[in-house]
Amino acid sequence: MDLPHFLLLLCALHLSTEVLGKHVDHRNLFEQRMCCKRQSHFVYIGQISGGHVSVDVGMCRSHCGGPGSRTSHETQQQEDSKYSSMLEFLRSKQPSCGVDQVCEPTGMRVDRVLLQEGHREVEVIEECHCEVKLSQCTRVPALRTYYAETPYETVIDVGGCSQSKGSPGFSCVPTKFDSALVETPNKVDLIQTVAACELKESCYRVPVVEYYYETVYHQDGVKEERLKEIDVGRCLGGCTTGNRCLLSPSDPQTCHLWSERQFSSCVPQGHESHSFVNQHGLLRTVLSITSCLCQK
């Protein structure tokens, strides 16, 4: 073989190798971006009989890439050889989340875990999917399965709030609530559900109305008994504090075991008094919450 033909052959081999490398790189890129699925996420919830209890509550991730999912070159080649074309490769992957979407749970179940202090309910993610990001603060559906795989299995839309953000320090949070009944082997459980959401600070006040009998004496001496409505209020939310990672390797970006989210208390900051004469002719004073704040 003469020199010009030999050099031409070398150039062709170099070009083929470069194109093949780019092809594999594109596949790696798609592997990182074409995935919205449930991943394991263990949370420590308590103790029983002196042992620690951790539950895989799961988490939704919009990508599969990362240090924990890297494979060797040989393994990657074996994986790539399964697919005859890039189209077949993409079809094998779960759908990616677009720019205006977020990877969220499609449904969750509520497990009852026995701990030292008694039973405790833990929400566990079952599957994930891509959901459109909402720019407005609104109530969104949130399905929960209670007493899964039993004759009492019940699915309830407990509701939630969109992940919309307002001004710094404000979030879309529940402000009105409702309830639903779940039949159990021993009784009927009352499940709180979200009815409405608004943009509020992390620690915020929600209205809670209470009713009292009030006695009113008119100028003509007539005594009237009527119902008095007072919005006593309630503080919700909290302020996250501290590091929740209980077990991590040398890499500070990785955590193998998380504790439950720690909050400081959201407590009343301001009060207002409401005085009235009750049905027994006695003066009664009821305090209502006017504002809330976080307190350690």
* Model pLDDT for residues 64-116, shown as the tens digit of each residue: 554 444 444 454 455 555 556 555 655 555 456 878 888 889 889 999 898 88
Question: 125 near 38, Cβ under 8 Å?
Answer: yes
Burial of 33 (0-12, 13-18, 19+ CB in 10 A): middle
Quote the strand ranges of 248-282, DSSP E. 257-259, 263-277
In this structure, whether the domain defined by 134-201 belongs to CATH 2.10.90 is answered with yes
Element housing 195 (H / E) = strand 188-201
Q: What is the pLDDT of residue 244?
A: 59
Instruction: Report the helix count and the strand count for the chain, using DSSP H and E.
Output: 3, 21
Compute the Cα dihedral for 218, 223, 224, 228 and give only its sign: positive
Phi, psi of 90 (to 5 degrees): -65, -35
Residue 257 has pLDDT above 70, yes or no: no
DSSP state of 142: -
For residue 216, the model assigns a pLDDT of: 92
Closest among 84, 65, 41, 114 to 261, alpha carbons compared: 41
pLDDT at residue 71 in the model: 42
pLDDT of residue 10 exceeding 70, the answer is no
- C-alpha angle 117-118-122 in degrees, rounded to nearest 5: 110
CA–CA dist 57, 48 (Å, integer): 18
Determine the Cα–Cα distance for residues 142 and 193; give it in Å rounded to an integer: 9
Start-to-end Cα distance in the chain: 83
Query: What pLDDT was estimated at residue 273?
Result: 95
Flag the least confident range among 17-21, 77-81, 156-160, 220-224: 17-21
Q: Give me the percent of the chain exceeding a pLDDT of 90.
A: 29
Average pLDDT over the chain, rounded to whole? 77
β-strand partners of 59: 39
What is the signed CA dihedral for 133, 138, 141, 142, rounded to 10 degrees?
A: 80
Question: Rounded CA gap, 133 and 102, in Å?
Answer: 6
CA distance 200 to 198: 6
